[in-house]
Amino acid sequence: MATATVPTRRGGILRRPTATTGFWSWFTTIDHKKIGILYGVTAFTFFIVGGLEALIIRAQLARPDQTLVNAAQYNQIFTMHGLTMIFLFVMPMSAAFFNYLIPLMIGARDVAFPRLNAFSYWVFLMGGLFLYSSWFLGGAPNGGWFGYAPNSTTDPTPGMTFYALGLLITGIASSAGAINLAVTIVNMRAPGMTLFRMPVFVWMGLVVQFLLAFSLPIITVALFEMLFDRRWDTAFFDPTRGGDPILWQHLFWLFGHPEVYILILPAFGIFSEVLPVFSRKPLFGYQFVVFSGIAIGFIGFGVWVHHMYAAGLGPVANTAFGISTAIIAIPTGVKIFNWMATMQGGDLHFDTPMLYSVGGVAMFVIGGLSGVTHSVVPSDYQQTDTYYVVAHFHYVLFGGAVFGLFAGMYYWWPKVFGFRLGEGLGKLQFWLMIIGFNLTFGPMHILGLEGMIRREYTYPAALGLAFWNEVASAGAFLIAISVLVFIINAVRARVRHRPLETDDPWDARTLEWTTSCPPPAYNFETIPVVHTLDEFWHRKYAEDKEGRLVRVPAGASDDAPAPAAGHAIHMPSPSFWPLVAALGLPTLAYGAMYSWWIVGLGALIVVVAFTGWALEPGTAE
Amino acid sequence: MRKRLWWVLGLLALTVLLSACSGYKPQNTFDPAGQPAQEQKNLLVPVLWIAAGVFVIVEGGILLISIRYRHRKGRERIPKQIHGNTRLEIGWTIAPALILAVIMVPTVSMIWQLAAVPANAMHVTVQGYQWWWGFQYTDEDMRTAFGDHGPITVADVLVVPAGREVELSLASEGGGAHTTDGIPDHMVIHSFWAPRLFGKQDVVPGRTNHITFSTDQPGVYWGQCAEFCGLQHGRMRFRIAVLDAQRWDAWVKNEKLPGVTPTDTLAKEGMNLFLNGVSSGGQCIACHAVGGTAASATAAPNLTHFAARTHECFAGCDFETFLPDGSPNYAALTAWLQDPNAVKLGAKMPDYDLTPHEIDALMAYLYSLT
């Protein structure tokens, strides 16, 4: 049997930790699977927190003229809700899936830079904790996730300084992760896995990493300018001293719109994996789906002004960006039709992952259609900044992205933990979710068209908006119950711990299911050799001349040779340094707010950590 | 039995929907009362119908496929393995492209149409403050008859004549009393929006955006700031009073006059407090103006005709100036003068520790300013 053994070498500052099990091993792990789990657990925790913020919002808006929270509290809560759901839930939850699955799906033993991977996670966690520490240090960010200057740069509370610094920290995490995963996908594929034999999920992962790598530098510039405006009295966005508030909007949305695709493409990848498995058919038009994903990635950089139609950029800009916004609907629509064609004629097994995928596609269609109305610029002057837009992006990002993430959780849960989530509770959870979701966000279309603006902490009864707000609030609590059922399901499945009958519980198609559940630290005893798209499926089934499936007798395939007994697999050792280095970043950030001495301390931590990192022996002693 | 239950449920749902949709909604974009709101609705409605058609086809397709091809227990079936169909895929790429092209033609033409400025419009400068709106009538024939003959200036309620094009110039102003080194503090982005009359345009510091609108229907239309502008963004409202020709002429005539000098004793006392300071040392005229007096500051709403009937609401249109029977709304104004921050957190108007008598006197003065 293969084992992970490690040769020894002397040198370095600290001894390299060796433990790969137990509580403390989680702090030093550089195993992409454990890091994936850390990402997932942390992101889900932030999802709960962001969800509680949403419940406060819906409780406040349930009736007109409520005073559950005041204006100052409300502005912090809606800002933190947005920041949490985008930067601390959907992005890191996608990172969790990418981290865990990409090496397994491409037949690799780990990511290209395992310590950098751990660093990404710890930096993300530090960024999240730094942002949330603002609640105890003078007030949370209160200028919206979009942080429009000069409101954000002149606000007297420290919240938006936390915003600038916190997003800079999480941005470092995402940049490092993006480079790491892109390099992994490009360089570490198993023999025979050409780019066009990669699962669509990996393709979407690759597109997302490039989107991150090209869009994060833009927001970084903007955040530094905001930080300097706030802390050191520069005037990037101050028109009385030659600055321009519109500059912030360009920089923010030039990042912000690709960001939307960073949030949704992972879910597209998940749909594209789940639908074929549960339809027992290959993805219809694999190349079309892949190329449309790439097209979305490119066009996604060319539509940012549709967030700014009302800013007064003039008819030329509005015409150009109205047209580009219409164009991006095309590659998105293509995917929908391809998914439908995948299901058409299949043998559809509606297990929970399938329910969430079909439900997710159905909800995304609604968000896509309301998105098309945003390209109708003159009427968008009416809808922009109203609840119509809130409805739109929740259909896209909740109905699309979050449903996709739930589909992924149910689908890969047995892979990650070795046991399934309960099907009965899973189905209950799905139906509660889709009903609650539509009750919450469906009425917001109407509210927006009836003149309810975004980001208002209360509204007078005379506007006649009470009824649909009450419905929306009731729906929000239904969503909360659904999430509660999910948690119960996860806990119950863990307590029962019914081992899987097979390592391939869904009769799946891709390489991650060729190894055990959960996989060993080294993923594959023998690196698989890939001959085709959906490699694992074709090892199990052959197609006859009419395209009918014929099961290959067990053992008849020579694609998975028996493992050679007793050979050693070299895996990198755990390390303290990613965590230590990550601790330096919030220290630097607090320093930027309070004292140059703390900046010095933070810089020291970072320098020491990276030195230790560089000098660390290759493996444990 | 089951069929009847569905009927009952359906009727119940319909009743709920109808009751929810009925009733006057003062910011309903689907109830336009002027241009360009009417054209904006006319542009959107066909697009929504197209979207509804696509919705039915796609969602219906998903539903049908899900039902038709669902796995049935005990009936093992291995589906035909279809990998794609290029012709079909090109087809469903071109089809949405064609639909979108059709939508974009009227869209683009209206973008340019809305950007055009009419020749003989009335000009008003809209000033966005934290968190209320001011309006200045900049046309030559709208100069006041007092002082240095500045433009008619009002707050909270924009008054316009029916049947005339109005061109608004949007300007962001500072946050009132809080200034540093003469530079207005908290000059932020707002967005001006009266849903039944026109879609929104942002009010951006350092830029001047424009809205042109008109309506033939006299009445009062609601609007509010639509771009997040800080603490009280949710309560930065305004109204637009559209007057017929006769009332408009009377309004203009009245607005050109200076503020009334009251004859009533209490109101006189209020005027004295207003112009010369209250017992705590607070100065109303540090921020407010009343035409024809020494009060001429521009950091807060101009109060020259505070009690004019068109001035329906004050302090960001948060409070009604008059009760439904037309009498002064003393309760709301008392609460506001007592402690502005208690009724509107973050309001820039300071709490001057006014005595109840001072409040009564100031209210008497303000309500004399017709």
pLDDT in tens, A367-412: 999 999 988 999 999 999 999 999 999 999 999 999 999 999 999 9
Whether the Cβ atoms of residue B304 and residue B258 lie closer than 8 Å to each other: yes
Q: For residues A381 and A338, is the Cβ–Cβ distance under 8 A?
A: no
B196 vs A477: CA distance, rounded Å: 33
Computed from CA positions of residues B305, B307, B309, B313, in that sequence, does the dihedral angle turn out positive or negative? positive
Query: pLDDT averaged over chain A?
Result: 92
**Local structure of residue A6 (DSSP, 8 states):** -
8 A C-beta contact, residue B279 and residue B355: yes
Residue A176: pLDDT over 50: yes
Decide if pLDDT at B206 tops 50: yes
| pLDDT tens digits along A490-499 | 999 999 989 9
Strands B219-224 and B237-243, bridge-based pairing: antiparallel
Q: What is the mean pLDDT of residues B135-164?
A: 94
Assess whether the previous peptide bond of A150 is cis (omega < 30° from 0).
Answer: yes
Is there a contact between B302 and B255 (Cβ–Cβ < 8 Å)? no
pLDDT score recorded for residue A621: 46
pLDDT at A559: 52
Q: Are the beta carbons of A334 and B89 closer than 8 angstroms?
A: yes
In angstroms, the CA A227 to CA A220 distance is 10
pLDDT for B115: 86
pLDDT at position A545: 72
Q: Which pLDDT score is estimated for B17? A: 65
Query: Can you give A213-260 as a three-state secondary structure string?
Result: HHHHHHHHHHHHHHHHHHHHCCCCCCHHHCCCHHHHHHHHHHHHHHHH
Residue A1, pLDDT > 80, answer no
A285 contacts on B by Cβ (under 8 Å):
83-86, 89
* A530 has pLDDT over 80: yes
CB contact under 8 A, A379 and B199: yes
Percentage of residues of chain A with pLDDT beyond 70? 94
Q: What is the pLDDT of residue B116?
A: 85
> What pLDDT sits at residue A376?
92
Closest to A606 measured CA to CA, from A288, A51, A25, A169: A169
Any residues with CB less than 8 A from the CB of B241 and at least 6 apart, and which?
A: B157, B158, B159, B160, B219, B220, B310, B312
Residue B82: pLDDT band (50, 70, 90) is confident
Q: What residues contact residue A588 under an 8 Å CB cut-off, 6+ apart?
A: A598, A599, A602, A603, A606
pLDDT value at B180 more than 70: no
Q: Which pLDDT score is estimated for B120?
A: 87
Residues of B in contact with A246 (CB under 8 A): 204, 207
Query: Three-state SS for B35?
Result: strand
Mutate to test the interface with A, among B19, B21, B27 (most CBs of A within 10 A): B27
Is residue A11's pLDDT more than 60? no
Which residues on chain B are in Cβ contact (under 8 Å) with A288?
84, 89
Residue contacts between A and B (CB atoms, under 8 Å) = 294
> Which of B66, B108, B188 has the CB atom closest to A150's CB atom?
B188
DSSP state of A532: S
pLDDT at A557 over 60: no
β-pair partners for B170: B126, B209
Report the pLDDT value the prediction gives residue B248, as an integer from 0 to 100: 97
Q: Give residue A561's pLDDT.
A: 52
Q: How far is it, in rounded angstroms, from Cα A523 to Cα A514?
A: 10
- Give the tens place of pLDDT for each residue, B328-344: 999 999 999 999 999 99
> Per residue in B33-66, pLDDT tens?
999 999 999 999 999 999 999 999 999 999 999 9
Share of chain B above pLDDT 70, in %: 94
Residue B53 C-alpha, separation from nearest chain A C-alpha, in angstroms = 10
pLDDT surpassing 60 at residue A9: no
Residue in A281, A312, A366 closest to B55 by CB: A366
Q: Is A204 exposed, middle or buried (0-12, 13-18, 19+ CB in 10 A)?
A: buried
- Residue A8 pLDDT grade (very low, low, confident, very high; cuts 50, 70, 90): very low
- Secondary structure element (H or E) that encloses residue B303, with its range: none
B114 pLDDT tier (thresholds 50, 70, 90)? confident
- Predicted confidence at residue B6, as pLDDT, reads 74
Confidence tier at A13 by pLDDT (50, 70, 90): low
Report the alpha-carbon distance of residue A335 to residue A357 in Å, rounded: 13
3-state SS record for A254-284? HHHHHHHHHHHHHHHHHHHHHHHHHHCCCCC
What is the mean pLDDT of the segment spanning A204-209?
97
pLDDT at B78: 81
pLDDT at A567: 60
Nearest chain B residue (CA) to A461: B25
- Please give the share of chain B, as a percent, with pLDDT higher than 90: 73
**A619 pLDDT more than 90:** no
pLDDT in tens, A565-598: 556 777 888 999 999 999 999 999 999 999 999 9
- Which residues of chain B does A365 touch, with a Cβ-Cβ cutoff of 8 Å? 55, 58-59, 62
* B272 DSSP 8-state letter: H
> What digits encode the pLDDT tens for the residues B125-146?
999 998 999 999 999 999 999 9
Structure tokens at A190: 């198993």
Of B79, B85, B201, the CB nearest to A310: B201
Residue of B27, B86, B96 with shortest CB distance to A463: B27
ipTM of the complex: 0.92
Q: Quick check: helix, strand or coil at residue A568?
A: strand
Nearest one of B170, B163, B171 to B120, comparing CA atoms: B163
pLDDT of residue A572: 83
B184 or A547: which carries more pLDDT confidence? A547
Task: pLDDT band for B178, please (50, 70, 90 cuts).
Answer: very low
Q: Looking at chain B, which residue has its C-alpha nearest residue A154?
A: B186
pLDDT value at A483 more than 60: yes
Q: In angstroms, rounded to a whole number, what is the distance separating the alpha carbons of residues A361 and A363?
A: 5
- Rounded to whole angstroms, how far apart are CA atoms B82 and A36? 34
- pLDDT mean across residues, chain B: 90
Residue among A61, A248, A307, A377 with most chain B CBs within 10 A, to mutate: A377
**Which pLDDT does position A212 carry in this prediction?**
97
Q: Can the peptide bond before residue B324 be classed as cis, meaning omega within 30 degrees of 0?
A: no
Nearest to A288 among B89, B195, B224 (CB): B89
Q: Is B191 helix (H, G, I), strand (E, B) or coil?
A: strand
Confidence check: pLDDT of A556 > 60: no
* Residue A19 pLDDT: 72
| DSSP-derived pairing of the beta strands B166-172 and A3-4 | unpaired
Q: Which of A379, A463, A534, A552 is the best residue to mutate to test the B interface, defined by the most B CB atoms within 10 Å of its own CB?
A: A379
- Which residues on chain A are in Cβ contact (under 8 Å) with B47? 372-373, 376, 379
Q: Do A154 and B185 touch (CB under 8 A)?
A: yes
Number of Cβ within 10 Å of residue A135's Cβ equals: 13
Q: What is the pTM of this model?
A: 0.93
> At B239, which helix (H) or strand (E)?
strand B237-243
Out of A315, A327, A330, the one facing B115 most closely (by C-beta) is A315
CB contact under 8 A, A284 and B96: no
Contacts of B319 in chain A (CB under 8 A): none
pLDDT of residue B172: 83
* Average pLDDT value for residue range B290-312: 93
pLDDT, position B19: 60
How many residues are listed for chain A in this entry? Answer: 621
The token pair that represents A183 in the structure block: 């390099």
Interchain proximity A75–B231, CB inside 8 Å: yes
Give the tokens for residue A198.
Answer: 């990669």
DSSP 3-state of B318: coil
A424-482 tens-digit pLDDT: 999 999 999 999 999 999 999 999 999 999 999 999 999 999 999 999 999 999 999 99
Give the pLDDT score at B20.
58
Q: Which residues in chain A have Cβ-Cβ distances shorter than 8 Å to B225?
A: 453
